[in-house]
Structure 1
Amino acid sequence: MAPIKVGFIGASAGSGLFVRSWAAKAHIPYLVQTPNYTITAMQNSSQASAERAIQDHKIPGEIATYGDPESLAADPNVDLVAVSVKVPLHSRLLRPALEAGKDVFVEWPLAANLKEAEELTALAKSKSVKTIVGLQARQDSSIRKAREMVQSGELGQIISTTMKGAGGIFNASLGTSYEYLLPIENGANMVTIPAGHAIDALCYVVGEFRDLQATLANNIPKIQIVDGEGNILRTVDKTSHDWMSVSGNLVNGGVANVVYEGGSSLTGKSFCWEIVGTKGALVLEGPHGHVQMFHPTLKIVRAGDKEAKLEEIKVEISSKPMDFTFNTGKAWDAFVGQGDGSWTTFEDAVVRHKMIDAIYRSNESGRRESYI
């Protein structure tokens, strides 16, 4: 199979783990080493910025550079356009690629809101293109193993599942590069990103919510914006939520409860997820609430075990610390039919957008809401 020619939007230049873009940490290193893909074009805010990114990331080959999405989409040497930028820009940058009939990859969330997500999905369908969305927690080995055990009946009938996480953002201060997370209308916040990834994993394992009830809170409505040295630059309003509780009944039976909060857990339990069945229970734990980035451990306790001993289940993980290419690489492999051939599409992402919309509606109305 000839490699898929990728035009990338969003691989900005920069050095250091917390300076480089997510594209540079999770996608570019994998795409340049796999024979399934080749990067043939790069688009940033300017052509000069795209050229700097190519040199900074040492991307090999002859690569065209662009400063606008229309020119990239028109390049005949591009089969697939990958968009890895801030959520509010997704719709504007995706549309030219879809109109040109290119296959597309985009980070989660697909768009800033449900309306935009549905419009993009309809456009992709009308152009008969293949789509992939970065809900890569579904590719995590522990989560896939948990799904396998639930579906095989190894845990028996699922009675309940409980998840608690800390989203790692929305403390009392925030760096300038994350200021766009504060207005709720931008669609990039604790509810949509860390909690959204985690609930997508939950639904992937035990099934969707039949109905749900949610409570949201904005406990820190003003946040200090700081520079790289920690100096306070200004204080700004925050309308995005920093606390979320969602509970409800599952389509496949059983009940679910999810709680996410901003910042990090003071008790050190930034991610803990239990799945309880009639034959046993699973416990997934991780160091951060971003389960799509950091691999949780997987343990099981069997029903009838008098000592209630948790037994760790060994799964495949990367041998490199902080290797963000592991889950994303498996998604890229699946897109070309390798691995189990399962990846997340625009249609899948719309379901998750509908769920988030139901969470917001329930918080406003105080009623149970459904989304499927």
Structure 2
Amino acid sequence: MATPSESSKTQKPIRLGFIGLSTQGWAAAALVPPLLQAPLSSHFSIAAVSTTNPVSAEATAKKYSELTGASVKPYHGSVEHMVGDKDVDMVVVSVRVLHHKEVVSKVIEGGKDLFIEWPVGRNLAETREIYEAAVRKRIRVIVGLQTRFTGYALKTKSIIDNDEIGKVVTTSFTVSMGSLAYGPIMPQFYNYLPVTSNGATLVDITGGHLLDMFTYILGPIASLSALLQNQISSVTIVDNDGKPTGEIVPQDGPNQVCIMGVLASGAVFNINIQSNVKETDFNWVIHGEKGTIRIRDDNRARQIGFYDATPDVYLNGRKVDLQSIGTSAMNSSVDSKDVQSTPAGLAWQAVVDGKAGEYATLEQALKVKEIVAAVHESAKDGKRISF
């Protein structure tokens, strides 16, 4: 697959076309703001947006035309309009996972470079199909696995890479999600999350983000065993005001994810991700032969508990300064004092710098998807999976 180094050498900004960008939502809050400020604004431009209907397309195009001072084209409906636009160099796809394969396949077939949000398809088969198509077309693909760019992740990786705690021997990671994430009540927009076949359960989405960061810092997994347990029989769907819509969705996805195993380095690990608990929790301990890293967020009242976590990092009991590295919360948005230092901002900068491997590539995303698939398989069959 082609490397991105050539794009960082050109003087012309990379012209982006967004599929799924609106005036609000994840892409509007996290992905776009870093692109509107220097230095990234000199490396990227927003050329076009595509939504599901003409009204939202016009409103979104108007918003970003005003913010950028340049005309942004509005498209709606068919992906082919965006793919066929010669003024678009890279297509950014931020839509529900249910539509990943359909949309991304058309972008790849059209030969456009691509940014795609995790989980890149509903299951391993779809992700592999997308990967193979991208390899055939030799296009560049960036995957939205931005947790690796949080301040705590960058600092932890630096400590380990600099051998400050010696060889890692064991690690334990616990994440407890709050009431707004994978609980018995969900907003209407997320009514597809509880169903396993949709590929958006707690283990697929949150687990994937966590496992990418985990292996980015500590290296590949050699083997694992997993337990998935669902303690929520059904989910009540509510509107934007929090009032029940009358829709009840049966849940078959897990709210308890337990993974244990051995890393390729020989270190032993265990991970627990859970939802539907009163208090959120973020506690990661890494023991090395020469020292210990503790990453923890003591705020027990966060609404989500992973994506909005801002944990502190302690090296051998001493708190480490993270101010010079970047913001911790993965979902840091336009309200941040310096959006360039948000995980999304740092990811975009890595694209500019041609640092494939620092930003998540499609090949790396496929490896994470293989781990997630192994978690499902191990939990279903009660067996240990080796890689």
User: With structure 2 as the length reference, what TM-score do the two structures score?
Assistant: 0.87
- Is contact 1:7-1:81 (8 Å) kept? yes
1:299 equivalenced with 2:303 (yes/no): no
- Is contact 1:335-1:341 (8 Å) kept? no
User: Greater CA deviation, 317-326 or 119-128?
Assistant: 317-326
Q: 1:70-123: CA deviations, max 9, x gaps?
A: 110000000000001111111111111111111100111111111110111111
Q: CA 1:344–1:290 in structure 2 vs 1: closer, same or farther (change >3 Å)? A: farther
Q: CA 1:54–1:263 in structure 2 vs 1: closer, same or farther (change >3 Å)? A: farther
Q: CA 1:217–1:256 in structure 2 vs 1: closer, same or farther (change >3 Å)? A: same
Q: How many residues align?
A: 355
1:178 equivalenced with 2:190 (yes/no): yes
User: Greater CA deviation, 195-204 or 166-175?
Assistant: 166-175
- Is contact 2:48-2:88 (8 Å) kept? yes
Distance 1:29 1:351 in 2: 29
Query: What SS does the aligned partner of 2:192 have?
Result: helix
1:314 equivalenced with 2:325 (yes/no): no
Distance 2:158 2:307 in 1: 18
After TM superposition, give the deviation of residue 338 of structure 1 in Å.
6.7
Q: Which runs of 5+ in 2 are unaligned?
A: 1-10, 334-338
1:120 equivalenced with 2:91 (yes/no): no
1:106 equivalenced with 2:116 (yes/no): yes
1:48 equivalenced with 2:55 (yes/no): yes
Distance 1:116 1:295 in 2: 33
Query: What SS does the aligned partner of 2:34 have?
Result: helix
After TM superposition, give the deviation of residue 236 of structure 1 in Å.
2.1
* Alignment partner of 1:213 out of 198, 207, 225: 225
1:1-372 mapped onto 2 (5 Å cutoff): 1-13=11-23, 20-33=24-37, 34-56=41-63, 58-60=66-68, 61-67=70-76, 68-168=78-178, 169-234=181-246, 235-266=248-279, 268=280, 270-286=281-297, 287=299, 291=306, 293-301=308-316, 310-315=317-322, 316-318=325-327, 323-324=332-333, 325=339, 326-337=342-353, 342-370=358-386, 372=387
User: Greater CA deviation, 30-39 or 51-60?
Assistant: 51-60
Q: 1:189-238: CA deviations, max 9, x gaps?
A: 21112222112111111112110000001110211112233322232201
Distance 2:154 2:49 in 1: 33
Distance 2:119 2:58 in 1: 27
Share of identical aligned residues, percent? 30
After TM superposition, give the deviation of residue 59 of structure 1 in Å.
3.9
Distance 1:54 1:320 in 2: 28
After TM superposition, give the deviation of residue 172 of structure 1 in Å.
2.0
Q: CA 1:72–1:290 in structure 2 vs 1: closer, same or farther (change >3 Å)? A: farther
Query: What SS does the aligned partner of 1:181 have?
Result: coil
User: Greater CA deviation, 25-34 or 47-56?
Assistant: 47-56
Higher relative contact order (CA 8 A, sep 6+): 2
- Is contact 2:16-2:48 (8 Å) kept? yes
Query: What SS does the aligned partner of 1:153 have?
Result: coil
Q: Which runs of 5+ in 1 are unaligned?
A: 14-19, 302-309
Q: Counterpart of 1:263 in structure 2: which amino acid? A: N
Q: Counterpart of 1:258 in structure 2: which amino acid? A: I
Distance 2:320 2:120 in 1: 33
Distance 2:330 2:233 in 1: 35
Query: What SS does the aligned partner of 1:111 have?
Result: coil
Q: Counterpart of 1:133 in structure 2: which amino acid? A: V
After TM superposition, give the deviation of residue 148 of structure 1 in Å.
2.0
